[in-house]
Amino acid sequence: LKIRSLFQKSDTAASLKSIEKITNQEIRFLPESTPLTTNLVIVPDKVVITQTVAPITCIVIENKSVVQMQYEQFEIIWKSLGGIASDAIV
């Protein structure tokens, strides 16, 4: 399984970046002006959105059209950060 991840710059993200090859993932950083308060995970059959500030909330979407749309948006962002499209999903 090849994982591609987009992170805000942080000490935690930098630590993960330093071991990305060991964990079989590729990490890219979003622009520092990108404030996020949610985490998004895309797998082939669902999207999981987790709010990372109180109150912690999680939404699971199992709709093929929504999953496809989120994957396409991820690809647009990934490419804009210098990535090349692949079959891997975050």
Q: How far apart are CA 24 and CA 6, in angstroms?
A: 14
**Could you give the angle at the alpha carbon of 21 between the alpha carbons of 20 and 25, nearest 5°?**
55
Ranges of residues in the chain with a pLDDT under 50 are: 85-90
Over the Cα atoms of the chain, what is R_g? 13
Q: What is the pLDDT of residue 46?
A: 96
Q: What is the pLDDT of residue 9?
A: 85
Q: What is the pLDDT of residue 42?
A: 95
Q: How far apart are CA 55 and CA 32, in angstroms?
A: 24
Q: What is the pLDDT of residue 60?
A: 98
Q: What is the pLDDT of residue 35?
A: 84
pTM of the model: 0.79
Q: What is the pLDDT of residue 83?
A: 54
